[in-house]
Structure 1
Amino acid sequence: MLDGVHLTLLIGPGVPVPAPAAVLDALDAVQVSSGGDRGGFQLSFQVGKTSLIQNVLLPAGYFDPILTRVIIVATVRGLPHVLADGVVTRQEIAPSNEPGKSTLTITGEDLSLYMDLVEMPFMRFPAMPIIARVYAILAKYAALGIAPIAIPPVVPDIPNPLEEIPHQHGTDREYLKELAAGCGYVFYIEPGPAPGANIAYFGPDIRIPAPQPALNVNMDAYTNVESLSFSLDGMAKKVVVMTVMDPVSRRAPIPVPIPNLSVLRPPMGLRIPVPSRLEFPGDVAHLNPSDAANKALGIMFAAQDSITGSGSLDVMRYGHVLRARMMVGVRGAGVSYDGLYYVNSVTHDIKRGQYKQSFNLSRDGLVSNTPVVLP
């Protein structure tokens, strides 16, 4: 790999162990995606007729789907970063007529895959609030090194067992996503901070406020990105009007406008685009007051950003590994687009002698509300 970049690959059923030298020598490319609904990875190997992978490891089940766990760690300038911790889901081999040019591709997803394998339609949670249900479900996966971090809904809701008994729909992951969507939260698994450890997060989509080193564009010798572009979507902002029944008679409809501003993400732009759409959701009139309040907060938590950006960088020139679900500054894009942004997703592309990243950014409006970008 590159000077200053060391890649560690752990593979195995149950507890992954360092990959043998023959596997590392055959490794041609690594791609890891993070920051989305579910993280994933892909490993590409160059194999030949006499290779250990082709003749021994594959027949012995070394890369078998579901059973094989993979951990990818990139150490940049002495600082380790756990890029992926997941399970193999697919293997593909492409034989070639040229010696040593056959390719084996291993694809996998993060450990939330294990939560999506078995449906639990008969699971009941009598008198258990949402937060208790979340911890009860995630406790089953502690053996995989998954530590839960769950934040209770803003408006508590303890179901009366004489009126209703909550029951699970579908798999554990589907039910956790359903609970999160009901109160405007997100659910995902983040690998790290140590190899073999993972964080299962259930809560509002809060980005870590400490900004990462800035992305510089059009700054001559100080430029540290290969490409960067921005776009402003004038249709992104909207006003949602919820119609709820009055809590006394349950007959009179009350319209409640919900602004398209996230109460959890601090504003980063001075000029917020005017909302261009008006929506009336039709599935809220029957909700009780606590569910309606959580629904309204969920709409505010999920407010869309008007400005999106995308680009790519070379990690060695940037000097750091850009992480998703954090903040980063931008310099050199002009007065309208300089400033702080949220990093929504990152894709890592690692090959011999190369470590690049592609990324997606977003924020709420034009013109930064901070005088300078640090660091």
Structure 2
Amino acid sequence: MAGQHFRVWFGERAATSDELRRIEDIEVTQEMDAFWEARLRMVLCLDAQGAWLHWPGATSAPFSRVRIELDNGSGTFTPLIDGPLTSVDAALDSQPGRSSATMVVRDDSAFMHRDEETEPPFQRRRASEIARELFGRFAQIGETRIEETPASPASTTRRGTALQFLRELGRTCDRHAYVLPGEQPGASIGCFLPDPEGPSALPPLVLIGDRRSLASASVFQDPDGGARTQARVLRVNDQGETTFDTSAADLGLMRDLPALPADLTPRRLLHPADNTREDPAGAASAQARRDGYVYHLSSQVIPGCYAAVLTPYQKVRIDAGATPYSGDYLITKVVHHITPSLYTQQFDAKANSQTEIAGAAVAEALGGGVQISVSVSGGIF
């Protein structure tokens, strides 16, 4: 695999060679349902008069744009983050070579979380229509990716920031509200989408064998996960009752077997804060999908052994040998760590089901069959 390269944009200009040399490391944290954040640590030094040189706050205004792109060896640069400079942190030391300044950058959803407001209710509007309107109010959002929602409640009231409101809407209709960096600088993508259902477009991550690309993998099974969700709502128009019951198995599993047998699946009521619509199907499905992710995995990619760049909201297949843990996972968090000499990816992922392991697969994983060696020795005393 070819070497990795990164580049940084400050506003509309690319960082100079001198600015890139002063960057000691970059850490970009991408997480579902949270701000994406980058931290660029840059070296500082003193001149003969005791003044700090290369202070980034002297040349970069608050909320000026910063963009980071990475080429993982494929020859194509992938944007990791594009958004405003939200703060500059300092670590100052009297000893030479130990001082630094850290530029903190967030994705463009930071602009959507600045002002808390109330506005007149949205009457008979689907959540997808409201999301399209709110994203359109921000010049930093160049395009949108929105999957239509079916329900049109009588009234939806916004109180809080635009981002808070969109995420609350998402909880009631099984959607995530987030912002991705666009292909071009300064034009991010506003997303209002469910969890992906199709197969992964990423190459598999392998724990064992010649194609190994994972250093290790830790899997945690949530003992309270996998619940069915029940909802019950009193209708205003006829005083009747609407009920809905669903689980991750009903919504579609990622693998062969459910995490729990049907007779051991716990039942949970839809949370009262989300049970506010006459049709509770969207909110109940969203809660059941969240509760259905029983398996949580943490791992680290071996540097130089994987050609793709991981990001949340994507599926990836993980091959962990002949175990129930092999199969598709939904990536929930990725930490990209970039230095002038090394690039690493740490990530968290989750799954709502397990893989059925046949005896033949276990034998193949052990080398094509089962061999038994018996040694007997005896002695006379």
Superposition TM-score, scaled by structure 1 size: 0.83
Deviation of 1:229 after TM superposition, in Å, equals 2.0
What aligned pairs does 1:70-149 form with structure 2 within 5 A after superposition? 70-77=66-73, 78-141=75-138, 143-149=139-145
Question: Corresponding residue for 1:225?
Answer: 214
Identity of aligned residues (%): 19
Aligned counterpart for 2:164 among listed residues 174, 198, 206: 174
Pick closer, same or farther for the CA change 1:88–1:79 going to 2, 3 Å. same
Range moving further from structure 2, 72-81 or 268-277: 268-277
Question: Corresponding residue for 2:53?
Answer: 55
The Cα offsets for residues 331-358 of structure 1, whole Å up to 9 and x where unpaired, read as: 2443322222222221101112110000
The Cα offsets for residues 191-213 of structure 1, whole Å up to 9 and x where unpaired, read as: 13344332111132225633422
Over aligned residues, Cα RMSD in angstroms? 3.0
Deviation of 1:248 after TM superposition, in Å, equals 6.8
Deviation of 1:240 after TM superposition, in Å, equals 2.0
Number of matched residues? Answer: 354
1:257 counterpart SS class: strand
Contact 1:337/1:368, CA 8 A, preserved across alignment = no
Pick closer, same or farther for the CA change 1:28–1:262 going to 2, 3 Å. farther
Aligned counterpart for 2:183 among listed residues 179, 193, 199: 193
Distance 2:335 2:320 in 1: 23
The Cα offsets for residues 142-181 of structure 1, whole Å up to 9 and x where unpaired, read as: x324312222213334x3xxxx5x4421111111112222
Question: Corresponding residue for 1:8?
Answer: 7
Distance 1:98 1:289 in 2: 65
Question: Corresponding residue for 1:257?
Answer: 245
1:22 counterpart SS class: helix
Contact 2:91/2:99, CA 8 A, preserved across alignment = yes
Distance 1:271 1:150 in 2: 29
The Cα offsets for residues 57-95 of structure 1, whole Å up to 9 and x where unpaired, read as: 5463x3443x22110000122021101112222211111
Aligned counterpart for 1:240 among listed residues 229, 237, 253: 229
Question: Corresponding residue for 2:329?
Answer: 341
Question: Corresponding residue for 1:36?
Answer: 32
Consecutive unaligned residues of structure 1, counting only runs of 5 or more, are none
Question: Corresponding residue for 2:42?
Answer: 45
The one-letter code of the counterpart of 1:4 is G
Aligned counterpart for 1:307 among listed residues 286, 291, 295: 295
Superposition TM-score, scaled by structure 2 size: 0.82
Distance 1:198 1:41 in 2: 16
Contact 1:312/1:357, CA 8 A, preserved across alignment = yes
Runs of 4+ in 1 over 4 A off after TM superposition: 246-249, 284-288, 368-372
Contact 1:245/1:285, CA 8 A, preserved across alignment = no
Q: Which has the larger radius of gyration?
A: 2
Contact 1:310/1:359, CA 8 A, preserved across alignment = yes
The one-letter code of the counterpart of 1:151 is E
Question: Corresponding residue for 1:268?
Answer: 255
Deviation of 1:287 after TM superposition, in Å, equals 4.7
Distance 2:277 2:339 in 1: 54
Deviation of 1:30 after TM superposition, in Å, equals 0.6
